[in-house]
Chain A
C-alpha cells in the first residue's frame, strides 16, 4: 500500500493543502452550535434582538468561509485523486508493455485487465476518500470532543460511555460482515461463470439436451448466492439501527442530566442543545472512521495486486551493452539450445542445434506438445533459452536491442488475434506507415484480397467484436497479411494456416516463394503438404530434433517422419 502512496508525491502540495482547507471547514462547522447556544442563552433569554442579528451575521460569514474552504478542499482532493489514479494506471500499463511472454503467462489476461480497471479505481477512490474524510472525520471527532468538554465537563462523561460503545458495535459488525462479503463475491463470481458458460457453450448444452441439468446447476448457485447475500446484507442492516440507538439514547441521557444541571443552575438550555449537536457530530464521524477502515482494508487487496505487477521482475530486457544491429540477411543459428518454462519442469526443448541460411524455408513438424511453438518463440526473444544461444546474422540475440530484433522478425501466432478497427487498420498494424497499395499488396500475397473485396466496405470494413464476423481461415489470412507487410528478413508462421483450405494455403506459399525469396521463413504445420517444399524440415519429438533434412531425405531415412507421412496418406482435401 505504501509503495503506491509514492505516486502522490508529485501532487504533495495539493495533497497537503486539501486537508488544511478541510480543517478550516471543520472548524467553521464546529463553531455553529456554540454560536447558536449563545443566541439562545444570551440573545433570546435576554430579549436582545441586535445581539441575535449580530450573531446571525457572524454565523453566515463563518458559513461562507466554510463553503469556500470546502470548495477548495474538494478541488484539490479531486485533482490529487484523479492524477494519482491516472499515474498509477499509466505506470501499470507501461509496466505490462515491458512484460515478457513468461510474465504474461504468469499473470493471465483476465487478471491483468481487472487490475488495470477495477483495482486502480478502487485504490483511486480510497485516496480521494482519504483526502476528503480521513482527516476530516477524526478532526470533527476531536474538535467536537473539545467543544463538548468545554461546554460542560460533567455532561461529557456520557461520551465516555457512548463513544466506546459505538466503537465496539461498529467493530463487531464490520468484523462479522467483512468476510461475508468476500463469500458473497465468490458466489456471485460462480453465478456469473455459470452464466458465461451457458452463453459460450450454448451449442453443447443444446446438442446434448442438457437444459434441465444446467438449470439445476444454476439454481443451486443462484440459491447459494441469494442466501449468503441475504445473510450478509442483514448483518449490515443491523448497523444503522444500532448506531441510531446509541445516538438517541445518548441524547436522552444528555437531556436528563442536562435538565438536572439546568435545574441546579449550573448549565443553560442553549448549552444543552449545543451539546446534543456536538455529540451527534462526534458519533457520526466515528461511524465514518469505521467505514473508512472498511474501505481501506478492502482496497488493500487491490493495492497488493497492483504492487505485485509493479514489482514483477521483467526477465527479458535490454542491457546497456545492447547494440542496435540491423538484421539484413536473416541467418539464424541455434547452438545447443535448451528451454524449460520453469526450473522444476522437464525441458520443453533439449539441446537443439540447427542452422537456417538466409532465404531458406525451415519447416518444423511434430506432435502436440513436441515443442514446436516454443522453438520459434525463442527467435524474437519472446522467451530466453535456459541454456545455449541463438545467433542472428552472427549476433547473439541477447546482445541486440529488443526493438531492432523484433522489427526484423515477423510472426503469425497460433491464436489469431485481430483488433477492433477496419481491415486496413489491422493489416497496417505490421507497418504503421504503410500506404494503401502496400496494404493491398500484402493482402494479395496472403490470399485475402479476394474475400476482403466481398466485404461490405471492403478494406474499410470494421471488424466487430474482435473480428468474429470473419471465418477462422479469413482471420488467419489477415493475420498473415499483417506479418507480410513488414517485408521482414525473418518470417515465422506458427501453425497459422490450420483453418485455411489446402488449395489457398498452396497459393500463399507460392506467393511467399515469389515475393519474399530472400526472407528466411519458419513454418510450423500439422500437414505434410504444408512443409513438403521446405528447404529443411526439422522433426521434433519430446523437445529433441529427431530428424533433419528435406522431404525426400526424411521420407527415406526417418521413421518418425515416415509415420507422420503414413498417417496423412492421401493428404487432405479442402
Chain B
C-alpha cells in the first residue's frame, strides 16, 4: 500500500508551464496559497547564489539586456510626444519620417534584446534546475535508509518536483522582471517629473488609492485562496483514498457514505472557490477604473494646463503612456515579492534535504574484501530504531562459512532487523558484527553490500524491460546469463508468455505482474549477482507451494557453498537449514537443527507441534 502513495505526486508536479505568465502578474501572482515566510533568507540566498555563480557571465549579459530594454521602453512614449508636438503639428514631414525610422530602429533593438534575454534566461533557469535535481538525486543515494523510512514519499516527491520547479520558474521570471520593474519605475518617474512636475504630482494622487485598495483586496484574495487550497487538498485526499480503496468500498457497500462525505467537501471547495474567484476577479476591473481615473486626471489636468499654455499636447500624450507604465511595475513588484518568498521557502526545503546527515563515510582505513569465506558473527549487538524501544538486545550469533541459517520467530521479533544490520542499512548501537573476522564497519560499505545477495520481503521492480530488471543483479551479465538465471529461478516460463518476452517493459514497480512472478524475478536477480553471502527475506512467501518446490531446487543449488540467511514461514525451507535460530523479543531463545529443537521441546517445538496437532486431529 505504501506504493500507492507515490501516485499522488505526479499530477501536482505537472504544472502548466510556458504559455502565459510571462508579463502581466494578474491571477498567477494571486494563485498562491498562504505565503510561507522563509526562515533564513540570507543564508538561503547565499546558497542559491552558488548555483547562479556558474552562470554569472550569462547572467551579467541578461541584466544588461534587461536594463537596456527597460530604458528603451521609456524612450518610446517620449518619441511619440516629439512626433506630435514638433513634427506633426508643425508639419515637418521629412523629420517625421526620420523619427519614424528612429522609432522602428529602437523598437527592433528593444525586441531583439528582449528575445535574447528570454532566450538566455530560459537556459540559465533550466540549467540551474537541472543542477539542483542532479544534486538532490545524488544526495538521495547517500542518505541512510532511516531517512527514507521516516519520510513519506509523497512529501519527498513534492520537494523534488514542485519546490525545485518553483525555484526554477521564479529564477526565470522574477529576477529579470524585478530588475526591469525597478528600472522602469524609476525611469518613468524621472521622465514624468522631467516632462511636468505638476502633472506628475497630479498623477501620483491616484497611486495611494491604488496601492491601498489592491493591497486590501490581495490580502483577502490570499486568505480565500489559502482556504480554497486547503479544501482542495482535503477533497483530493478523500478522492485518492476512496478511489484507491474502491474495491473495499464496494465490498462493504459504502458507496453512499463516501458520496455524502464527498459532497460535503465538494461544496466547501466550491464555496471558497467562488469567493476566491470573485475577489481575484475584481482586481482587474478595479485596476482598470483606477487607470482610467489617472488617465482622466492627466487629461483634464493636462488639458487645463495646455489651455494655459504650460504644456503641449504631445507631452499629455506621452504622460498618458507613462502613467500607465508607472502603475504596472508597481503591481508587478508586489506580485514578484510574494512569488519570491514562496520560491525561497521552496529552496529552503530543498536545502534541508541536502543538509540531511548522509550515511557515514567509510573510515580511511576501510578495507575491501576480495574473497569472502562467509563467517558471520554477531557479538553482543544492541539495536533500537527509536531510542527507548530496543529491538535487539545482547544479540549473539555465530555462523560458519557455508552454513544455512534459518531465522524463525513471530512478527516483530527482530528477524528483518538482523538483516538490516548485516547489510548496514542501519548501524548497530553497541557490540560488533564481523564477516571473516573483520568488523563490517571497517569494510567499505559498497564492497560489503556487493558481497551480499539479497532477496527482500518487498520486491521492487523498475519500469524497464524484464531483462534489465534481472540484469540489475550483475550489470555486465550477457543475455544468455540473464536467461540462465531466469531458468534457475523458474521464471523463464512465465517471462516467455509475456507480450514481448524478456524485452517486455514493466509498468512502474512491475504493477502488471503477480506477487509471485515479481518474487521470481527478484530471485533471478539474486542468482545472477552470485554473491558470497545470500539473504532471503520471506523470498517465497507469495509463491504457491508447488512452484516453490521448483525454486527450492534452484535455491539449494545457489545456497551450496555460500553462507545463507533465510527468513521464512514454511518449514520445507526451514527444515533443511544447518541451524535454526528462534528469535523472540529481540533475543535468540533457541538455536539448533530441526531435530535438535524438536527434542528440546521448547518454543519452536510448540509452534511446530501445536500447529500440526491441531491440523491433523
Q: Is the CB of B250 within 8 A of A382?
A: yes
Q: Which residues of B contact A139 (CB under 8 A)?
A: none
Query: Are A56 and B118 interface neighbours, CB within 8 A?
Result: no
Given contacts A77-B281, A215-B138, contact A207 B456 (CB under 8 A): yes
Q: Mark A536-574, 1 if CB is under 8 A from B, else 0.
A: 000000000000000000000000000110011111111
3 closest cross-chain pairs (CB), A and B: A70-B285, A74-B281, A201-B460
Contact with B along A395-438 (1 / 0, CB 8 A): 00000001100110111010111111000000001101000000
Interface SS majority for chain B = helix
Contact yes or no, B153 A570, CB < 8 A: no
A39→B575 contact, CB < 8 A = no
**B148 near A573 (CB under 8 angstroms)?**
no
Contact A465 B18 (CB under 8 A): no
- What is the chain B residue whose CB lies nearest that of A294? B19
* Segment of A152-160, A327-335, A524-532 in the binding face: A524-532
Interface of A is mostly: helix
Q: Find A232's partner among B18, B119, B267 (CB 8 Å cutoff).
A: B18
Judge whether A466 and B1 touch: CB under 8 Å: yes
Set B8, B253, B459, B544: member contacting A367, Cβ < 8 A: B544
Given known pairs A56-B296, A78-B274, A368-B544, the reply for A200 and B266 (CB within 8 Å) is no
Is there an interface contact between A192 and B93, defined as CB atoms closer than 8 Å? no
The answer to whether B289 and A104 touch across the interface, beta carbons within 8 angstroms, is no
A142 within 8 Å of B (CB atoms): no
Which residues of B have CB within 8 Å of A503?
410, 607, 610-611
Are A419 and B278 also in contact (CB < 8 A) when A70-B284, A192-B9, A199-B156 are?
Answer: no
A367 to B76, CA, bound (A): 81
Closest to A69 in B: B285
Q: Give the distance to chain A from B5, nearest Cβ to Cβ, in Å.
A: 6
Q: Is B273 an interface residue (CB 8 A)?
A: yes
Give chain A residues whose Cβ lies under 8 Å from the Cβ of B91. Answer: 263
Chain B residue with the shortest CB-CB distance to A369 = B514
Most A CB contacts (10 A, CB to CB) among B246, B302, B509 go to: B246
- Does A128 contact B277, Cβ atoms closer than 8 Å? yes
- Residue A262 lies at the interface, judged by CB distance under 8 Å to chain B: yes
- Whether B249 lies near A193 (C-beta < 8 A) is no
Within 8 A of B (CB), among A360-402: 366-369, 380, 382, 402
Q: Which residues of the partner chain A approach B244 to less than 8 Å between Cβ atoms?
A: 109, 113, 417, 466
User: A269 within 8 Å of B by Cβ?
Assistant: yes
Question: Do B18 and A67 have beta carbons less than 8 Å apart?
Answer: no
Give the docked Cα–Cα distance between A32 and B288 (Å).
Answer: 11
Q: Chain B residues near A210: list those with CB within 8 A.
A: 472, 475
Whether, in the assembled complex, B431 has its beta carbon less than 8 Å from a beta carbon of chain A, the answer is no
- In this complex, how many residues of chain A approach chain B with their Cβ under 8 Å: the count is 177
Contact with A189, one of B14, B127, B410, B543 (Cβ below 8 angstroms): B14
Q: Is the CB of B300 within 8 A of A209?
A: no
A118: chain B residues at CB < 8 Å are: 11, 14
Cβ-defined partner of A74 (8 Å) among B83, B153, B258, B278 = B278
Taking the closest CB of chain B, its distance from the CB of A280, in whole angstroms, is 11
Assuming A56-B300, A466-B4, A526-B545, is B514 touching A74 (CB within 8 A)?
A: no
Q: Chain A residues near B329: list those with CB within 8 A.
A: none
A-B contact pairs, 15 of them (CB 8 A): A40-B317, A63-B289, A64-B289, A74-B278, A93-B259, A197-B463, A201-B460, A206-B449, A209-B446, A237-B118, A241-B115, A272-B88, A503-B611, A564-B546, A571-B611
State the CA gap A82–B224 with chains docked (Å): 14
Q: CA of A410 to CA of B248 in the docked complex: distance in angstroms? A: 10
Number of A-B contacts (CB under 8 A): 481
A66 touches B (CB below 8 Å): yes
Q: How far is the CA of A219 from the CA of B571 in the complex (A)?
A: 45
Q: How far is the CA of A249 from the CA of B111 in the complex (A)?
A: 11
Whether A465 contacts B152 by the Cβ 8 Å rule is: yes
How many chain B residues touch the partner (CB < 8 A)? Answer: 172
| A93 and B130 contacting across the interface, CB-CB below 8 Å | no
CB nearest to A244 among chain B residues: B111
Contact (Cβ within 8 A) B569 A573: yes
Cα separation A420 to B278 with both chains bound (whole Å): 34
Q: Is B482 an interface residue (CB 8 A)?
A: no
Is there a chain B Cβ closer than 8 Å to A16's Cβ? no
The stretch of B37-45, B52-60, B95-103 in contact with A is: B95-103
CA distance A197 to B141 in the complex (A): 12
A226 touches B126 (CB 8 A): yes
Nearest CB in chain A to that of B472: its residue = A208
Bits for B287-315, please: 1 = Cβ < 8 Å to A, else 0: 01100110110011011101100000100
A467 to B1, CA, bound (A): 8
Complexed CA–CA distance, A207 and B522 (Å): 12
Interface residue? B263 (CB, 8 A): yes
Task: Please name the residue on chain B nearest to A429 by beta carbon.
Answer: B252
Q: Which residues of chain B from 523 to 568 have a CB within 8 Å of any chain A CB?
A: 525, 529, 541-549
Q: B300 contacts A466, CB within 8 Å?
A: no
Stretch at the interface among A45-53, A349-357, A514-522: A45-53
The segment from B234-242, B375-383, B396-404 that touches chain A is B234-242
A451 to chain B, nearest CB (A): 9
Query: Does residue B20 face the partner (Cβ distance < 8 Å to A)?
Result: yes
The distance from the CB of A382 to the nearest CB of chain B, in whole angstroms, is 7
Q: Which one of A104, A255, A468 has the highest number of Cβ atoms from chain B below 10 Å of its Cβ? A: A255
A340 within 8 A of B: no
Inter-chain contacts of B88 with A (CB < 8 A): 255, 258-259, 262-263, 269, 272
Contact status B251-A380, CB under 8 Å: yes
Do A249 and B463 touch across chains, with their CB atoms under 8 A apart?
Answer: no
Is the C-beta of A110 less than 8 angstroms from some C-beta in chain B? yes
A383 and B225 CA atoms in complex are apart in Å by 43
**Distance (whole angstroms) from the CB of A15 to the closest CB of chain B:** 14
Given contacts A113-B244, A473-B411, contact A502 B607 (CB under 8 A): yes
Docked CA distance A131–B141 (Å) = 49
In the complex, are the beta carbons of A101 and B270 less than 8 A apart? no
B243 within 8 A of A: yes
Please, what's the 1-or-0 string for A476-506, where 1 marks a CB less than 8 Å from any CB in chain B? 0000001000000000000000111111001
The verdict on A570 contacting B571 (CB below 8 Å), with A29-B288, A113-B7, A241-B114 known, is yes
A40-B303, A203-B460 given; A184·B2 CB < 8 A? no
Residues 300-336 of A at the B interface (beta carbon under 8 Å): none
What are the residues of chain B within 8 A of A461 when measuring CB–CB? none
The segment out of A2-10, A83-91, A143-151, A161-169 that lies at the interface is A83-91
Contacts of B454 in A (CB 8 A): 207-208
Contact partners of B14 in chain A: CB under 8 A? 118, 185, 188-189
Q: Is the CB of A39 within 8 A of B107?
A: no
B residues in contact with A294, CB < 8 Å: 19
Complexed CA–CA distance, A526 and B548 (Å): 11
Q: A39-B299, A78-B274 are in contact. Are A291 and B80 (CB under 8 A)?
A: no
A237-B118, A252-B107, A256-B96 known; A269-B313 Cβ under 8 A: yes
